[in-house]
């Protein structure tokens, strides 16, 4: 199981990037950069490629609607080049509030579009002429939808790799099935290891039954807060704002994927209450309503023996990458937490 970390996209990126070499030395093997309605992730990943030597880099995630499939492929090939083959293309559908609200693009057919984008990207990286007829993307553009001057082209440059790893962010049953079928990696959000098989086992099995052998084993990535020690229980509460935001405010009533996930975990009443409080502007109360059991299950916070047991549980669930956010305030203490985790890894 490898250790990863996610760099903040809303503030402090340069400060986080400056410490990445130390994190690399401490045991972090992959760094994820998110993209919301923030600074773009691509410029930051390029910055990190030049500032590091060994650590792997991944977008987590680039929304599928905001770039054409071929631009996603070009971007991935460029980042893989400047990082000397250390890049993973993380893709996801985001949500209608961001896609339609911030980008002004219709949020439609996320699963079908994702499949077509993956196929087009891999065609580009193999330097084949990009000729593709899908339900949502057709290349070159047909004459009746443009000037008629489009012609089949292939990427000018020779990519470092002809199959850059793709990681799909997914939590819905069909999305997870697609990730298990076509992607090298799967990135779910706030994973409850004890309920992973119950919630996603059927989807994972269905996707892996159709998985091409050359893709290799599915890399399952989880993200967790980290604090190891005998007096760290109070740090669990630092996970409340994010869980409350996603369960309560990331979407609308009846259209919040993360609220739906909390309900699938068995927290139906809690999810309803958190959403009601959050959408009515009572954010602190929404945070307080997040169940401690969910906080604990989605974190690595506790004594060394407890964290060791949790790591074994993650491994038993098939999780291969744990991306952590050390909760210590001091940089030296954050490094120490990573080193402790590294020493506990199987």
Helix, strand and coil in the chain, % to nearest 5: 50, 15, 35
pLDDT of residue 199: 97
| 298, 193 Cβ separation under 8 angstroms | no
Six-digit token string for 49: 């490629």
Are 42 and 59 a contacting pair, CB within 8 Å? yes
Are 181 and 211 spatial neighbours (Cβ–Cβ below 8 Å)?
A: yes
Q: Measure the CA angle with vertex 208, ends 207 and 210; round to 5°.
A: 75
In this structure, are residues 290 and 269 in contact, taking their beta carbons and an 8 Å threshold? no
Cis peptide before 227 (omega within 30 of 0): no
Count of Cβ atoms closer than 10 Å to residue 291 Cβ? 17
Q: What is the phi-psi region of residue 250: left when phi exceeds 0, alpha when psi lies from -120 to 50, beta otherwise?
A: beta
pLDDT of residue 28: 95
Give the CA count within 13 Å in the CB-facing half-sphere of 238.
16
**Tens place of pLDDT per residue across the chain (346 aa):** 999 999 876 667 788 888 888 998 999 999 999 998 989 999 999 999 999 999 999 999 999 999 999 999 999 999 999 999 999 999 999 989 899 999 999 999 999 999 999 999 999 999 999 999 999 999 999 999 999 999 999 999 999 999 999 999 999 999 999 999 999 999 999 999 999 999 999 999 999 999 999 999 999 999 999 999 999 999 999 999 999 999 999 878 888 999 999 999 999 999 999 999 999 999 999 999 999 999 999 999 999 999 999 999 999 999 999 999 999 888 899 999 999 999 999 8
Secondary structure (H, E, C), 271-322: HHHHHHHHHCCCHHHHHHCCCHHHHHHCEEEECHHHHHHHHHHHHHCCCCEE
The residues, ordered by sequence, that sit 6+ positions from 325 with a Cβ below 8 Å of its Cβ are 5, 6, 223, 224, 225, 226
Paired strand residues for 59 = 33
């Amino acid at each position: 199981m490898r250790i990863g970390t996610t760099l903040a996209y809303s503030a402090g990126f340069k400060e986080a990037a400056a410490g990445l070499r130390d994190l690399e030395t401490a045991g972090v093997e992959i760094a994820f950069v998110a993209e919301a309605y923030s600074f773009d992730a691509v410029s930051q990943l390029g910055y990190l490629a030049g500032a590091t030597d060994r650590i792997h880099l991944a977008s987590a995630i680039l929304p599928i609607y905001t770039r054409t499939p071929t631009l996603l492929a070009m971007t991935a090939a460029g980042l893989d080049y400047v990082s000397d083959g250390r890049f993973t293309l993380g893709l996801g559908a985001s949500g209608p509030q961001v896609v339609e609200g911030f980008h002004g693009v219709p949020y439609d057919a996320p699963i079908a579009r994702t499949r077509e984008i993956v196929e087009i990207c891999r065609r580009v990286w193999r330097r084949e002429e990009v000729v593709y007829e899908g339900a949502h993307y057709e290349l070159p553009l047909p004459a009746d939808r443009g000037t008629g001057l489009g012609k089949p082209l292939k990427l000018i440059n020779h990519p470092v790799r002809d199959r850059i790893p793709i990681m799909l962010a997914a939590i819905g049953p069909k999305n997870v099935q697609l990730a298990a079928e076509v992607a090298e990696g799967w990135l779910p959000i706030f994973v409850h290891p004890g309920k992973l098989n119950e919630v996603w086992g059927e989807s994972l099995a269905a996707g892996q039954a159709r998985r091409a052998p050359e893709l290799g084993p599915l890399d399952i990535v989880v993200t967790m807060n980290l604090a190891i020690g005998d007096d760290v229980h109070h740090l669990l509460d630092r996970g409340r704002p994010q869980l409350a935001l996603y369960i309560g405010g990331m979407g609308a009533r009846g259209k919040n994927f993360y609220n739906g996930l909390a309900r699938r975990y068995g927290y139906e009443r809690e999810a309803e209450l958190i959403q009601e409080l959050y959408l009515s502007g009572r954010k602190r109360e929404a945070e307080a309503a997040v169940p401690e059991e969910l906080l604990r299950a989605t974190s690595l916070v506790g004594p060394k023996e407890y964290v060791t047991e949790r790591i074994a549980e993650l491994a038993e669930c098939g999780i291969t990458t744990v991306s952590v956010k050390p909760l210590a305030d001091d940089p030296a203490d954050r490094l120490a937490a990573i080193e402790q985790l590294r020493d506990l890894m199987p």
